Amino acid sequence: MANSIHPTAAGDAEVTAARADAASQTAAPQVVSPRYVFPFILVTSLFALWGFANDVTNPMVKSFQQIFQLPAWQGNLVQMAFYGGYATMAIPAALVIRKISFKAGIVIGLALYAIGALLFIPASISQNYWLFLGCFYIITFGLAFLETSANPYILSMGDLRTATRRLNLAQAFNPVGSLTGMFVAAVLVLPNLQVNEFRQQHIDANPQYKEMGISPGEIGQNVSAAMETFSVEEPEAYAALRTHDLGVIRVPYVAIAIVVLGVLIAFLFSHMPHTGHSEDPIHLTETLANLATFKYLGGVLAQGLYVGAQIMCWTNIIEYGMSVLGVTASAAQWYNIAGMCLFLCSRFVWTYVLGFVRPGLLLGVLAIGGIAFSLGSVVLPAQAGIISLVLVSTCMAAMFPTIYGIALDGLTVDDAKLGSAGLIFAIVGGALMPPLQGYVIDWGSGFWGDPTTAVRASFMLPAACFVFVAVYGFMVNTRGGRTTA
């Protein structure tokens, strides 16, 4: 009797296992499986950390421009230094990560981030603009390691079918750090800069500006001339002003360095999935052949143009507020915060929508919206124009992770590590486009005789960037093929 039962029981077990296996194949895949929850949370914290660095830095462009009395293009070199670090370090970081691990790459990135931020102390003491640029450059050496590690690490933490949604979910926490950086700038930095007090005192002392109908851009030119005169006639007072303001700017960077060191310690003592090491030699020819597709190469170009558009909109919204709307730098920063709030909320919305809409189609539609809102800032009246500029953030919310997921779709883990470097290298768009926009503002101010018109016209640049992003999204969607959602 026993012998007759065992075969039946074994058969039942096989049937049960087969049914369970079939169910697992047909069930909707989880975005984050339980065994990856802790490492997912820890790595996602990095997205907030580089978000803070990105968006506490954007308002510093105008601040450094005023403190050091620089033309617009030279003030925007802050962004060239900041995002230039990505271009320099992205590929070396990918090669290092391929041979060690994602965790080791993250540790290196956090160490470089902290070092660059702490170097703000000697830079502020020396009062040398170029040393500040060096600090930004080193910070983004670290951020290149972090982004090159964290983005593909998140993609690898689970089912490939939900990779793009998982990355969008992780990226949704990037604006939390960005909002924190913006809030720190708006509340703790900009209102406490004496250069902004000087501007307001000059405007209050010249009520004829309103009576004569002088534009905000022309008022800004007059303030700059007054500051230059002040620096010549009262050099000691001007030096004290600059010492004070650079000390204020230093504070958030030293504070974030302490936070970064705390996260570094957490990674050192945490067990993380070891998926980033490869003993296999790099077959460069084969890897380049795998990457030589429109989906990947077009994604790199689309990413570069998107990042350029994003940084132009978020950096020069302060210039727009001051030169077009006529508000203070700290007041203009609140428009930036409003845009980031929309960006944060939209990230979660678009992550949900990606469960039903192909990534390429969503990307194309959002890029069309970006074009419309960018052009709205050019042609609409001042208040409507800055609202339109704020609304661009809604469209940008899903672009970076969606382009990233599309471009790396279908690649092996090792190819994705090197492919990730190209997409992080594309962040160089944030280094190249803002100085170009600054040049348009400087040149246009002379051409039209009024900075207000020049600032408006400069936002045609992000609109042009979104055109290619739209083309890329629609073409990828039309060509079809397996695309993660």
Reported as a single tens digit per residue, the pLDDT across 64-82 is 988 998 888 888 899 889 8
Q: Do domains 36-271 and 284-480 have the same CATH topology?
A: yes
Residues 375, 372: Cα–Cα separation, whole Å: 5
DSSP per-residue letters across 253-299: HHHHHHHHHHHHHHHHTS---------SPP-HHHHHHHH-SHHHHHH
Average pLDDT (316-321) is 92
Residues 471, 467: Cα–Cα separation, whole Å: 6
Three-state DSSP class for 58?
A: coil
The end-to-end CA distance of the chain, in Å, is 53
For the entire predicted model, the pTM comes to: 0.75
pLDDT of residue 26: 52
pLDDT of residue 420: 79
Give residue-wise pLDDT tens across range 222-274.
888 898 898 889 999 999 999 999 999 999 999 999 999 999 999 999 888 76
Cα-based angle 429, 90, 420 (whole degrees, multiple of 5): 90
Q: What type of residue sits at position 255?
A: A
Instruction: Determine whether domain 36-271 maps to CATH 3.40.30.10.
Output: no
User: What's the mean pLDDT when you consider all of the chain?
Assistant: 85
Average pLDDT (315-324) is 91
Could you tell me if 140 and 89 are in contact, meaning their C-beta atoms sit under 8 angstroms apart? yes
**CATH for 284-480?**
1.20.1250.20
Domain ranges of the chain: 36-271, 284-480
Least confident piece of the model among 24-38, 124-138, 360-374, 376-390: 24-38
Element (H, E) at 478: helix 460-479
CA neighbor of 357 nearest in space, from 400, 398, 392, 393: 398
Rounded alpha-carbon distances, angstroms, from residue 126 to 7, 78, 129, 143 = 83, 17, 9, 25
pLDDT of residue 148: 82
Read off the pLDDT band of 395 (50, 70, 90): very high
Average pLDDT (456-470) is 97
Q: How many CB atoms within 10 Å of residue 398?
A: 26
Read off the pLDDT band of 136 (50, 70, 90): very high
Read off the pLDDT band of 3 (50, 70, 90): very low
